[in-house]
Amino acid sequence: MVVSVAGEAAERSVFLEPGGLLEVAAPGSLLIDAGTVSVEFARELHAASAAAGVSFLDAPVSGGPEGAANGTLSIMVGGSEADFTAARPALDGMGGYVVRMGAPGAGAAAKLINQLLTASNALAATEALALARAMGFDSGARLAPLLALLDRSWGNSTMLQRTGGILGAALDAAEPTAALLAPAAAPLRNFAKDLDYVLAEAATARLRLPATAAARTAVSRAAGLGREGADWASVALQHRQPPATPAAVPPTAAAPAAAPAAAAAPPAVAPREPFDSLAALEASVPPPWREEERALLLRCAALGGRHGPLAVIDDDPTGTQTVRPWLGLP
């Protein structure tokens, strides 16, 4: 049996809760998990399956909706050689490239590396496409030769070609922004948990992954803007900066500034309400964010929400970081 559901909570329900597959499956059954999960959870499912007398493979897939429809998915498998051999006919029917990566959890690990690269390449592609649009490649017809050139250049990637194609089609639509924000077959929300798993593995290994952190921030900003159902191509809209505020014109000798009638206290500024979520906070702050700030914000997010202010980081000239209450942008 092949299982593919969204998220570890759903997987835990399907496999481990009362009435789940490990309780009802006949001894000797072979279960295949095609979802994207953490390495730790994949190993937990392997151990629970062994205890229940059931064989198990972690076998996440890559290739998107197109690969699933065409049977060309890449399938990366973790588990025993014997179980992999037994499952091979079913896996070959699903994908065009099937490979055993190693012991339990190895398939999940390979998928997280794939997701790191997919999201990082997608974010870079949206930056390149936003700049290309600003420099005159602002229609599908004008973008097509650029994508063809890049397809033969070192800057190319699968995500660039896919994202560029979606952006080109949107630019030719009657409402380009609406086309970019339309519900997608592979929405941004799918990457939220995957990148969280990647960053958790990196933290365990004491690695800093700034490109991955930036991609995760882009997904969070999309959620804060209500765009989590759109494709990665929509992130190109996030790179636009707001128009600059015109500078105040100083008074001239011919038109001196009027003297105030009386010295008055500065107007009181009402404190802003705290944000309801970290995603809403992130969506309000223009990039770039430093990775250290985001990591600390995530850690103190539990202090925020409706029950109190979130926190933000201040840096003094010595580089020391402190935390202060967050009451909104000044």
DSSP string, 155-185: T--HHHHHHHHHHHHHHTSSSHHHHHTS--S
324 bridge partner residues:
312
As a whole number of angstroms, the distance between CA 193 and CA 111 comes to 13
Is 111 tagged catalytic?
A: yes
42 vs 79: CA distance, rounded Å = 10
Q: Which residue has the tokens 């705290």?
A: 274
Q: List the catalytic residue out of 43, 111, 133, 294.
A: 111
CA distance 43 to 61: 17
Give the N- to C-terminal CA distance of the chain in Å, as an integer.
55
Q: What token pair was written down for 114?
A: 């794939």
DSSP 231-253: -GGGGGGGGPPPPPPPPPPPP-S
Query: CA nearest 46: which of 10, 16, 74?
Result: 16
Phi and psi at residue 209, to the nearest 5°: -120, 80
Catalytically annotated residues: 111
